[in-house]
Structure 1
């Protein structure tokens, strides 16, 4: 097995929304805001090369939305999914499986693209299976008013219409592990049935933290996103996860942190805290 970080493109989000009820005087110490109160956000995917499988975890925002849509998110930098794949000698047509932690547009927008004449949409990975779970799919295609702006039908329905959509059944995770060779933790605080990949790699446990832990600045327990649909449940899930991650020395791959690629944790008198930051190459090369 080989792993590769895939930079799909950076953007910005409102710092207050990213930290909920936590005052700016606290969260800005780790995630400084610009004059518009926006903070740097990454959308870093993870590519797993394992035998004849080439598995991409999450796909970023994509590029098919309107200029007006992207004007809200202040894209910055020159990263793209295709350039990042090419860096490692791959093309999107090589991808066999796309695993989506959840179906918010910044995690699955790159899964679907315009067709050639821009009259409709098509899967952006023509040879891949697209993995979600039935409970989260139903949650996404019948969105509640709070999340409606995050679940976009143009990101979802083309995967189903193509016949490439697959559902991971929670009770059959062992069978899934045999197929794709990583474990999955289900969490419900951010959105219903978000899936967190847990990967054993080169003697270490690497967790693709997705929106359970967006950035290193979110490690303190009360630092919960305003986007979470069930913040009290997030607190419970996060507490259990942080304890286990510190106890077992997990390495956390931070999908949304533009400045801390991978971190580990430690126990302190104030609770679990950020310990060290690593680049992917420092840790695994």
Structure 2
């Protein structure tokens, strides 16, 4: 097995929204804001090369939305999904599976693009299965008013229409062992219903792709919960459970949204689970 970071692009989000009720004087210590109160956010995806499978976890925002839409997110940097794949010697047509932690636009937008004439949509990864789960798919296609702006139909419905949609299954407990893609999945409901956190067993270690369960290093303290989370009290419990598991078992935590920290480990302290070490993907994936 080989792992590759795929940087699909960077953007900015309101720091207050990213930290909910936590005062700025606290969260800006780890996530400094600009003059518009915006903080740096990454869309760092993960590519798994395992035998004859090439699995991409999440896809970023994509590029089909309007300039007005992207203007809300202050895009920065030169990273693109295709460019990052090319840098590692791959092409979008090589992808066999796209695993979606959840279907918010900053995780699923890169799944679908305009066709040549801009008369309709088509899958970006024409040779891939797209993986979600039935509960989250229903949640996203029949969205509540709180999340409706994050579940964009043009990112989701064309996946089903393409015939390339697959479901992982739902566990009886929090973790689905040995999913169809070969890794375990931790399910979390606080951010959105049935978000999936992949647990990848790599060279004797476990690498957890944290998605929106832990967006950045700054979110390690339990009360530091995003304003975007639909069930913040549930997020508190899920974070506590998962971070204790990560500290007990020396997990490497792959941070999708932290623009400045790629992989971390955590440890138990008197104040709870806190940062232990910070690594680059090159350190761990070499």
TM range (shorter): over 0.9
Q: Distance in 2 between matches of 1:216 and 1:206?
A: 16
Unaligned runs of 5+ residues in structure 1 are none
Aligned residues: 283
1:171: how far off?
A: 3.8
CA deviations 1:217-267 (Å, max 9, x no partner) are 000110000000000000011100111111111110000000000000011
Q: Distance in 2 between matches of 1:202 and 1:284?
A: 9
Aligned: 1:125 with 2:114: no
Whether the 8 Å CA contact 2:112–2:155 is kept in 1: the answer is yes
| Alignment-derived partner of residue 90 in structure 1 | 90
Could you list the runs of 4 or more consecutive aligned residues of structure 1 that deviate by over 3 angstroms after TM superposition? Answer: 171-174
User: CA RMSD for the aligned pairs?
Assistant: 1.0
Whether the 8 Å CA contact 2:115–2:122 is kept in 1: the answer is yes
Q: Distance in 2 between matches of 1:20 and 1:201?
A: 34
| Alignment-derived partner of residue 207 in structure 1 | 208
1:89: how far off?
A: 0.8
Q: Distance in 1 between matches of 2:16 and 2:54?
A: 37
| Alignment-derived partner of residue 142 in structure 1 | 142
Q: Distance in 2 between matches of 1:135 and 1:181?
A: 21
Q: Distance in 2 between matches of 1:91 and 1:15?
A: 35
What secondary structure, in the 3-state scheme, does the structure 2 residue paired with 1:43 have?
strand
Q: Distance in 2 between matches of 1:264 and 1:119?
A: 46
Aligned: 1:67 with 2:33: no
Q: Distance in 2 between matches of 1:31 and 1:67?
A: 26
| Alignment-derived partner of residue 167 in structure 2 | 167
Q: Distance in 1 between matches of 2:27 and 2:183?
A: 33
Unaligned runs of 5+ residues in structure 2 are none
Whether the 8 Å CA contact 1:213–1:254 is kept in 2: the answer is yes
CA deviations 1:4-41 (Å, max 9, x no partner) are 00000000000000000000000000000000000000
| Alignment-derived partner of residue 39 in structure 2 | 39
1:203: how far off?
A: 1.6
Q: Distance in 2 between matches of 1:180 and 1:196?
A: 13
What secondary structure, in the 3-state scheme, does the structure 1 residue paired with 2:9 have?
coil
Whether the 8 Å CA contact 2:2–2:285 is kept in 1: the answer is no
TM-score (norm: length of structure 2):
0.97
